[in-house]
Structure 1
Amino acid sequence: MIKSSLYSSSIAFMLACCLSACGEEPLCRRPEVLEKVKQLFDQQQFGSFIHAPNVFKVREESATLYTNRPEGGVSKCSVLMTTDLIEMLRLSGQQSAEDIEKIRQEAPKKGFSLTKDDLVTYLVQPLSSGKHYVTVFP
């Protein structure tokens, strides 16, 4: 019984090491990958010419590996992206600063959230140059 338990726990450890590259930062959570995911998500929302640096925030701790295809090293990942609705209002320019402040104060009292979370799914493929090719699904 103990042998079986040791065997299964060592297999679990080896599998965990393969998925996380044993001590290396997981591919889905690498800063350069998450920065590219944020940039691509931003472009999906606003297009290529409008940059909104404070509207979207990547919740790095939520980055998760779904699957890992050994051929080509492609990893399918997901992460939560938080949208700051107050910053979105500021960016639109259709609300005055006083209106935005009033919304900021009144929304929580009425049970409205000032943020919104989106689950973003993306693929990461390591390139021979050491960089990563990132694709975000619509």
Structure 2
Amino acid sequence: MASSVFATLVLSGCGGQSVCADGEVLKTVKKLFDQQQFGQFIQASPTIFVVQEESATLASVDKEGGKSLCSVLVQLDILEMSRFTGTSDADLAKMKQEAPKRGLPLTKDYLVNYTVQPMASGQNFVTVLP
């Protein structure tokens, strides 16, 4: 499912908060992560992968270039993914009922690493790392 796409995008500037947790940066991270998972031309449901905004963390800052290395958790909703891939409602109900009995999770977390680099224009250049 995951490809080794090296995704980048330019977006508008951030406010006074940490650049890693900036809403526009995280929105871009989600978009790029979705593209890594599904490709550029498949529009997946926005509820399949959900960025856990409170987990956004600054790992390091390159003092010379001002590039920030960040990470965030992105949660996969397995039922939503199954629905997207065409699983029937009856099978989804069965999965929802049986998973807890078997100790199987209905979500999976991915750690996504990304960089944010400020540009002279005041915008940020966001790169989601493979």
Percent of counterpart pairs with the same letter?
57
Aligned position for 2:93: 101
Note the C-alpha offset of 1:127: 1.8
Looking at secondary structure, tell me which structure has more strand per residue: 2
Runs of 4+ with deviation above 4 angstroms: none
Matches of 2:78 and 2:43 in 1, distance apart? 15
Matches of 2:54 and 2:91 in 1, distance apart? 33
| Alignment partner of 1:57 out of 24, 44, 50 | 50
**Unpaired segments of 5 or more residues in structure 2?**
1-14
| Alignment partner of 1:34 out of 22, 26, 38 | 26
Aligned position for 2:68: 75
Letter in 2 for 1:134: V
Note the C-alpha offset of 1:105: 1.4
Aligned position for 2:120: 128
Matches of 2:124 and 2:64 in 1, distance apart? 15
Looking at secondary structure, tell me which structure has more helix per residue: 1
Matches of 2:77 and 2:26 in 1, distance apart? 18
Aligned position for 1:115: 107
Give the TM-score taking structure 2 as reference length.
Answer: 0.84
Matches of 2:89 and 2:120 in 1, distance apart? 49
Is residue 48 from structure 1 mapped to residue 40 from structure 2 by the alignment?
A: yes
Give the TM-score taking structure 1 as reference length.
Answer: 0.80
Matches of 1:135 and 1:51 in 2, distance apart? 20
Aligned residues: 115
The structure showing larger relative contact order (alpha-carbon pairs under 8 Å, at least 6 residues apart) is: 2
* Cα deviation 1:43-78 (Å, max 9, x = unaligned): 110000112211000011111111101222100000
**Unpaired segments of 5 or more residues in structure 1?**
1-22
Letter in 2 for 1:136: V
Question: What secondary structure does 2:59 align onto?
Answer: strand
